[in-house]
Amino acid sequence: MLLSLNWLREFVHYEGDGAELGRRLTMAGLEMEGISRPYAALKSIVTGHVLECARHPEADKLAVCRVDVGSEVLDIVCGAPNVAAGQKVAVVKAGSALPSGLVIKKTKLRGVPSNGMICSESELGLSEEHDGILVLPGAVKIGLPLTEALKLDDEILDISITPNRGDCLSVLGLAREAAAILGLPLHLPVFSRRVDGLEADGELSVAIPDPDLCPLYHGLLIENVKSAPSPGWLRYRLNAVGVRPISNLVDVTNYVMLELGQPLHAFDLEKIRGEICVRAADAGEIFTTLDGKQRVLNSSDITIRDERGVICLGGIMGGLNSEITDTTSKVFLESAIFNPANIRKSARRLNLHSEASFRFERGVDQGGATFALERAAHLMAIVADGHVRPGLIKNEARPLRRKRIRLRMGFTQERLGVSIQSSFYEKTLRSLGCSMDDASGDLRFGENNPSAQWDVTPPSHRQDLRREIDLVEEVIRIYGVDRIPAQLPNITRILDDAGRPLSKTAFQSRVKHWARGVSLNEIITYSFVGHRELEILDIPVAKSIRIMNPLSDDLDVLRPHLVPGLLNALRNNLAQNAPSVRLFETAATFAADETSETGAKEEARLGIILHGARQSDLWPHSPGDLDYLDLKGLIEHLLQSLLLPEANFVTAQGDSYPWLSPAVDIILAGDKIGFAGRVKTGIADRYLTRKDAWTAEINLDILHSLHKKSKILFQSLPTFPPARRDITFISPLGLRADAILESIARMRSPLAVEARLIDCYEPQGTNERNLTFRFTFRRADRTLKDAEADKQRDLIVETVQKTLGVRV
């Protein structure tokens, strides 16, 4: 809300400057976001008197003027059609600048010297009027700065109004606040209420079948008006607060809305037939608003109708069929209150947001509707040279009910943590327009007795004051919230909450710290991806959750996997020529789930992507690129760190992960906890990869629940030394390494403690590889003899040869 300080001063006689007022308003909850001086650039423009005006000897369209600017008389050549001797005008002297920054120089126009310029309103930035020079009122003194002559020396405060304070969307509203904060009296505008002609209320009546939609609809008739541009003071003031002047009739409705907060609508009375009715639109009804667009209405729109149909979309926009025009002479001026929710729905659906709908959505003061109507009608009569007919056309279908609220001082002190004198309560709430009845009864004695209480009736414009706590806020807001002392609370701990397992957040934090420790770098990517990106990855979009109103097509699906974000981060880094990229993200993935309250199943996952050099590419590190074994090693390391058993890594069946080849399922104790694999070349190319990109996603929710059950159990150290035997199996290339281990495990040898692969060698030109395992044997009760270990070794060799057909 743009607030003119000069305008405000008509309501509150505030002497200070805009910055100080802004600071005080800010500390009372009305945050000032900036100050501007819209007419500051006019400081070098002065008023002048055109003494003589003669036609230029060489040019028909130019006039040669002698202009008295107080300190001197200037020769000025002027091209405006309306310049004439005797006018008071705005002059920029040679050497000074226009608001546009253009410096006017001494010059000669077709041989005649010109020492300045007589300005139009558009050149002064006052309006878009550029057909002729600005002619000032005859009473203006000459030689004055224009800003002073026209009272344009104003500060405009940009105040941010929170949605609860619709009452502050006007000069009056902010003046009320300023008066309460500064302890100054409030003055309402005074205007003559001269009326003329026949009583109006017999001429037009208003029916309101549903007071919920429109509790009040009043009007006045103004006759004999002549549409014309508004006088300067009105136009400059509207212009200063960002409203474009249109014509006197329209400008008055805007002016009073800005001043008093009541949106108004002017109809051409002669275009209204019969009785006015305010009711919900019929579904499917078509109406042409005054911007010329056809609107299809529904039953939540509020319509103003005459006997022929809709003439106005109440609170939103007028109709072409009842619009005031240059030829309008009789005006029906409406001042009404509409249901905020209906206005909001209509404005949003029709995308018709206006100053009026903005105010109606936030609540307009029903108690002020009549005053605003009268203020506007009489202003209109003045500026459009008409007269107001006596008699209010009115229908207050549902009078305002004002609520009494009990305010307890003890309760207030408890909520605020600060004790304020009871007289301050009374003074503050009264200054805000509340009426106060002492309700303490016998309870009260003394000034600061917390038993004091009042019955408070807020003023009609404060619809936000509904509960006791709202009044508490008013008291502390004016007292100063910054005066509240700081005190640490004693937070109650609940015994039953003790000893609960690691929370989800703490578990994820543990995983993140693990990842950092194994030199992975954490990334954070958006939870939404584009459906096209999923298509590139061949990820089915069907089961994904779509955003109804996405910011763009690239952010329209909630990600079912982390891989798009991982790949995009990889691309960003490869674009920077990163030699080694090791990234991880822990985040939710989303899948449609009808059984969930939100329709979404959110799964916490860890995503990893590896690309490029395994280690630093610098000396003394050995070269080599990250591969599957690096990725698998990380996952095994994670599981060990979380005290979980070893997982199985098995080639995924079918095309479960169409963006991966090879793709591997990770199985832990029968649960699929995730998958890993290499991004398919055709896909990876799109992300600028030069090497293989290996990626994995692990379900952290499953790991969390498994981790909760895991325990560290100490096992006593073995007393007797082990015996070790190495065996090399020559196995065909298709045979999984763990097939050998599994066949050994099935032997259930009581002495075998451990079997580990210690070498894997593929001789060139064969279809075989040599797998060397180291077996550890031990007895718990005595040292194993060499012969016993040898026997075990022979047994293993025999079994593996028999079951798998490998050689030794």
Partner 1 sequence: MNLIAELEKLVSDLSGDLSKVASLVMLDDLQTVYLGRKGKLAGLMGRLPEVASAERPAFGKAANAAKEQMGGMFEERRKSYQAAAADRDLARFDPSLPGRMPGRGALHPITLVMEEICHILNNLGFETISGPEVETDFNNFQALNFPLDHPARDMQDTLFINEGIVMRTHTSPMQVRAMLEKKKPPLAVIAPGKVYRRDSDLTHSPMFHQIEGLLVDEKVSLAHLRGTLTFFLRELFGPEVKVRFRPSFFPFTEPSLEVDMSCILCRGTGAREVGRGRKEPCRVCKSSGWLEILGSGMVHPAVFTAVGFSPECSGFAFGLGVERVAMLKYGIDDLRMFFENDLRFLKQFS
**Residues facing residue 284 across a β-bridge:** none
Residue 526 found at the interface with partner 1 (CB under 8 A): yes
Q: Report CA-CA distances (Å) from 12 to 183, 574, 610.
A: 10, 64, 68
**Which of 44, 422, 428, 525 touches partner 1 (CB under 8 A)?**
525
**Nearest to partner 1 of 371, 526 (CB atom):** 526
Query: In 3D, which of 484, 355, 441, 335 has the Cα closest to residue 395?
Result: 335
**Which of 144, 250, 418, 667 touches partner 1 (CB under 8 A)?**
418
**Which of 598, 715, 716, 767 touches partner 1 (CB under 8 A)?**
598
Residue where the block lists tokens 């325990």 = 711
Residue 416 found at the interface with partner 1 (CB under 8 A): yes
CA distance linking residue 404 with residue 17, whole number of Å? 37
**Residues facing residue 455 across a β-bridge:** 406, 437
**Which of 286, 296, 547, 643 touches partner 1 (CB under 8 A)?**
547
Residue 425 found at the interface with partner 1 (CB under 8 A): no
Using DSSP's 3-state secondary structure scheme, residue 730 falls into strand
CB of 134 to partner 1, least distance (A): 37
Helix or strand holding residue 415 (H, E): helix 409-416
Q: Which of residues 87-106 bind partner 1 (CB under 8 A)?
A: none
Residue 144 found at the interface with partner 1 (CB under 8 A): no
Q: Which of residues 465-494 bind partner 1 (CB under 8 A)?
A: 467, 469-470, 472-473, 476-477, 481-482, 484-489, 491-494
**Which of 112, 352, 392, 518 touches partner 1 (CB under 8 A)?**
518
In the numeric block, which tokens belong to residue 562?
């982390």
CB of 600 to partner 1, least distance (A): 4
**Residue 257 near residue 173 (C-beta atoms within 8 A):** no
Residue 165 found at the interface with partner 1 (CB under 8 A): yes
Compose the 552-581 pattern: x for residues touching partner 1 by CB under 8 A, - for all others: ---x--x----------x--xx--x-x--x
**Nearest to partner 1 of 496, 786 (CB atom):** 496
Which stretch in 173-181, 269-277, 453-461, 596-604 sits in contact with partner 1 by CB under 8 A?
Answer: 596-604
CB of 56 to partner 1, least distance (A): 51
CB of 239 to partner 1, least distance (A): 27
Nearest 10 degrees: CA dihedral of 655, 659, 661, 666? -70
Binding residues for partner 1, total number by CB under 8 A: 92
DSSP 400: P
Using DSSP's 3-state secondary structure scheme, residue 667 falls into strand
**Which of 217, 287, 332, 590 touches partner 1 (CB under 8 A)?**
590
**Nearest to partner 1 of 487, 716 (CB atom):** 487
**Residue 581 near residue 574 (C-beta atoms within 8 A):** yes
CA distance linking residue 70 with residue 365, whole number of Å? 49
Q: Which of residues 672-731 bind partner 1 (CB under 8 A)?
A: none
Residue 520 found at the interface with partner 1 (CB under 8 A): yes
CB of 518 to partner 1, least distance (A): 7
Helix or strand holding residue 279 (H, E): strand 276-280
| Residue 83 phi, psi (nearest 5) | -70, 140
**Nearest to partner 1 of 495, 733 (CB atom):** 495
**Residue 403 near residue 250 (C-beta atoms within 8 A):** no
**Which of 106, 402, 403, 546 touches partner 1 (CB under 8 A)?**
546
CA distance linking residue 693 with residue 680, whole number of Å? 8
Residue 502 found at the interface with partner 1 (CB under 8 A): no
Q: Which of residues 617-636 bind partner 1 (CB under 8 A)?
A: 618-621
Q: Which of residues 326-365 bind partner 1 (CB under 8 A)?
A: 340-341, 344-345, 361-362
Give the list of residues 6+ apart from residue 573 with CB closer than 8 angstroms, or none. 581, 583
Amino acid at 733: L
**Percent composition of the chain: helix, strand, coil (DSSP 3-state, to 5):** 30, 25, 45
**Which of 247, 440, 527, 728 touches partner 1 (CB under 8 A)?**
527
CB of 168 to partner 1, least distance (A): 11
**Which of 97, 112, 541, 600 touches partner 1 (CB under 8 A)?**
600
Q: Which of residues 441-470 bind partner 1 (CB under 8 A)?
A: 467, 469-470
Residue 405 found at the interface with partner 1 (CB under 8 A): no
CA distance linking residue 739 with residue 59, whole number of Å? 107
Q: Report CA-CA distances (Å) from 678 to 86, 293, 689.
A: 89, 57, 12
Handedness of CA 515, 519, 523, 527 (dihedral sign): negative
What string of DSSP letters covers 311-361? EEETTTEEBGGG---TT---EEEEEEE--HHHHHHHHHHHT---HHHHHHH
Residue 582 found at the interface with partner 1 (CB under 8 A): yes
Q: Which of residues 24-63 bind partner 1 (CB under 8 A)?
A: 26-29, 31
